Structure 1
Amino acid sequence: MLKFEHVSKIYKGQKRAVNNLNLQMNEGEFICFIGPSGCGKTTTMKMINRLIEPTEGAIYLKEKNIMEMDPVELRRKIGYVIQQIGLFPHMTIEQNISLVPRLLRWPLEKQKKRASELLSLVNMTSDYLHRYPSELSGGQQQRIGVLRALAADQPLILMDEPFGALDPITRDSLQTELKKLQQKLNKTIVFVTHDMDEAIKLADRIVIMKDGEIVQFATPDEILRNPANEFVEEFIGRERLSQVQPHIQTVDQIMNPAPVTVTPNVFLSEAIRLMKQKRVDSLLVVNRNNKLEGYIDFEMIDQKRSQASRVAEVVEKDILKVETGTFVRDTIQTILKRGLKYVPVVDHDGRLVGIVTRTNLVDVVYDSIWGNDTEGIAQ
């Protein structure tokens, strides 16, 4: 998909901002560039769509040298998302999403259909199409920025710290959505970040740069297990829990496979009896096909018991969940950032298969840090 051959960028009278880059990115890969400020990661990204042109070497997009392509046509073939989002305030959401398809002269109906389809991918209804950016939250605006980059179905998307200005919870949610979108649509994404947690969560492979050069280019697990040198060790953080217990990879390995559940038609009095019997303060709500619909807890029941009689009337449907195969390291970060007690685990069809609790994670952390050596704790 994308190849760098001995690429350098030299500014007049300055040192090399990027020096002799050689790397290859495969179709459908999520590649993160990371490194300290001034390492050359953003310069590298901007050379891909010729916002900055390389001084030496060649960059190939699908085996074609980008310097032999018309720069305007090149940029229309590449999606681009920046931290400032760049939505046009005088345009509706539909018009913002359809910007590139309109430049490519897509039929109007095709533009409208594409915008509506993309909104549904991030759980936003078609009602948003006729709103303006000022009517949306920061997280919603960032979603639209991502969708605009996907609108013309470009195979390659560039993202320059797109979530850097968002609060931690919104950022975590958008990271999860973006990874799902990328896998579903099989896009190749080049993503610049300064956040190692973000790179580890999103990337298939990570490019760690320093002083304009690549220090290590590998999968997150390879980097965590075998950092190339002391700089990489210091940069990723020696304390990261994911470096230990390499045999524990996904939530499937640590989840409780029998969470306490209830169906929507159950009376609240029965739900309370079940909580008491199982000694829990909340229940996951599933339908007849075991699809997760939400949760209820004692406080919710107490607040609405005078006006509701069944679970369906009080269920909270906004619940964070992870799919089977999700890395434990990502779930640890999510639980810690959001202060959650647990996270349900579902299969690809949304059926509940288990639950990961803080206790599960404490066991992993305990074994990671102390192993079988309890003498140090006693002392």
Structure 2
Amino acid sequence: MLEFKNVTKRYDGKTAVKNLNLNIKKGEFVCFIGPSGCGKTTTMKMVNRLIGISGGDILVEGKNIKEQDAVELRRSIGYVIQQIGLMPHMTIKENIVLVGTLLKWSKEKKDQRARELLKLVDLPEEYLNKYPHELSGGQQQRIGVLRALAANPPLILMDEPFGALDPITRDSLQDEFKKLQKELGKTIVFVTHDMDEALKLGDRIVIMKDGEVVQADTPDEILRNPANEFVEEFLGKDRLIQGRPDVTTVEQIMENKPITVPVGTTLRDAISIMRDKHVDSLLVVDSANVLKGFIDIESINLNHKKAKVVDEIMEEGIYTVSHHSLLRDTIHKILRRGAKYAPVVDDNQRLVGIVTRATLANLVYDTIWGDGTELEELTQAAE
């Protein structure tokens, strides 16, 4: 889909990218990462000819980009940057279909495409008539992504698109975009300086140093078998998966039977279940086991006089993780949010398990001490 053949870029005698050879498959999400000045952004900008190539060739769907009109090439490739670049005087709809306007789409086609895309990120249709300043940073970045998708390009380039967002909004957008990419099957070239982001999003990670590729492989392979000391240091010694390479996803460590109550359960019955199970909160599910929300002792105490069933007082905005989420991402999110637990759901939002802080604490203990042999050896050595 995207191929680099001996690609080189020189600036005033200095080589920024050296003989890059890489083949990116259709539908693949590839993250480029490395220290500042390593050549990752230069590599990406050569793809849509924002930066010229000094040597070698880049092929997009088998066509050499040198042989294509630069303007037409850029219109055929999605491009998302950190600064977003929404036009402040244009409505959200006009921003989304900006490329369509340049391609002279009809009003009907632009209206339909804008509505279609807005649904992908669960924003209400009335947002189409708002202006960028009326949206939050996370919402604006969603619109920036939609604009890149408007002309349905097979390839999208993204240059640190979530770098300016707060950690929680960033987590949410990463999850949303990864899911969107899988659904749409787009090929993504994603530049980041954040290793956690690369490990979370990338099907493959390309680690660069001094204009050269040091290692290009899947996240798990890089974590298990770093190519050299530079990669080890760049990854960081504290990544949990290095201690437990056999544990990579939430599904492997989650508790399979979280304590739940169905919608319609009376508060009296909910209190009784809490007492019997020795818990201070309950997850609320419907008849299909789809997670609807949660209740806790505090919400019951505040509302027991005016509410009779759990549906009336449950909180719906509960933070969840997917059963195939990477464990390292879930750990970071739980700690960042100060959450005591995270319900685990499948692709249809059905509750399949729960990850608690106690579960994570046990895993960390096992990572440090293993089966107890190491602890015993340390004890004997101390004696």
TM interval, short-chain normalised: over 0.9
Match of 1:304 in 2: 303
**Which amino acid counterpart does residue 168 of structure 2 have in structure 1?**
I
RMSD: 1.3
Match of 2:225 in 1: 226
Deviation sequence 1:274-331 (CA, Å, 0-9, x none): 1111111111111111111111111122222233221111111112212222221221
Structure 2 residue runs of 5 or longer lacking an equivalent are: none
Match of 1:30 in 2: 29
CA distance in 1, matches of 2:124, 2:288: 25
CA distance in 1, matches of 2:306, 2:113: 42
User: Which deviates more from structure 2 when the two are superposed, residues 199-208 or residues 144-153?
Assistant: 144-153
How many residues are treated as equivalent by the alignment? 378
Deviation sequence 1:78-100 (CA, Å, 0-9, x none): 11110011011111111111111
Pairing 1:235–2:224 present: no
CA distance in 2, matches of 1:301, 1:157: 48
CA distance in 1, matches of 2:273, 2:168: 32
Pairing 1:209–2:208 present: yes
CA distance in 2, matches of 1:120, 1:370: 48
Q: 1:9 to 1:118 in 2, by over 3 A?
A: same
Aligned to 1:266, what secondary structure does the other structure show?
coil
Match of 1:353 in 2: 352
After TM superposition, the score normalised by the length of structure 1 is: 0.97
Deviation sequence 1:37-73 (CA, Å, 0-9, x none): 0111110010000000110000000011001001111
Name the % identity.
Answer: 63
CA distance in 2, matches of 1:297, 1:285: 11
Aligned to 2:319, what secondary structure does the other structure show?
coil
Match of 1:196 in 2: 195
Query: CA offset at residue 376 of structure 1?
Result: 6.9
CA distance in 1, matches of 2:206, 2:318: 33
**Which amino acid counterpart does residue 306 of structure 2 have in structure 1?**
Q
Aligned to 1:23, what secondary structure does the other structure show?
strand
Query: CA offset at residue 366 of structure 1?
Result: 1.6
CA distance in 2, matches of 1:103, 1:60: 24
Deviation sequence 1:6-42 (CA, Å, 0-9, x none): 0011012x41011110001001111000000011111
Aligned to 2:355, what secondary structure does the other structure show?
strand
CA distance in 2, matches of 1:242, 1:142: 31
Match of 1:167 in 2: 166
Deviation sequence 1:172-225 (CA, Å, 0-9, x none): 111111110000110111111000000000000001011111110011111101
Query: CA offset at residue 102 of structure 1?
Result: 2.0
Structure 1 residue runs of 5 or longer lacking an equivalent are: none
Match of 2:38 in 1: 39
**Which amino acid counterpart does residue 7 of structure 1 have in structure 2?**
V
Pairing 1:323–2:322 present: yes
CA distance in 2, matches of 1:377, 1:99: 65
Aligned to 1:374, what secondary structure does the other structure show?
helix
Query: CA offset at residue 117 of structure 1?
Result: 2.0
Pairing 1:277–2:276 present: yes
Pairing 1:258–2:248 present: no
The equivalences for 1:86-125 within 5 A come to 86-125=85-124
After TM superposition, the score normalised by the length of structure 2 is: 0.96
Q: 1:109 to 1:307 in 2, by over 3 A?
A: farther
Aligned to 2:190, what secondary structure does the other structure show?
strand
Match of 1:375 in 2: 376
Moved over 3 A (4+): 375-379
**Which amino acid counterpart does residue 374 of structure 1 have in structure 2?**
L
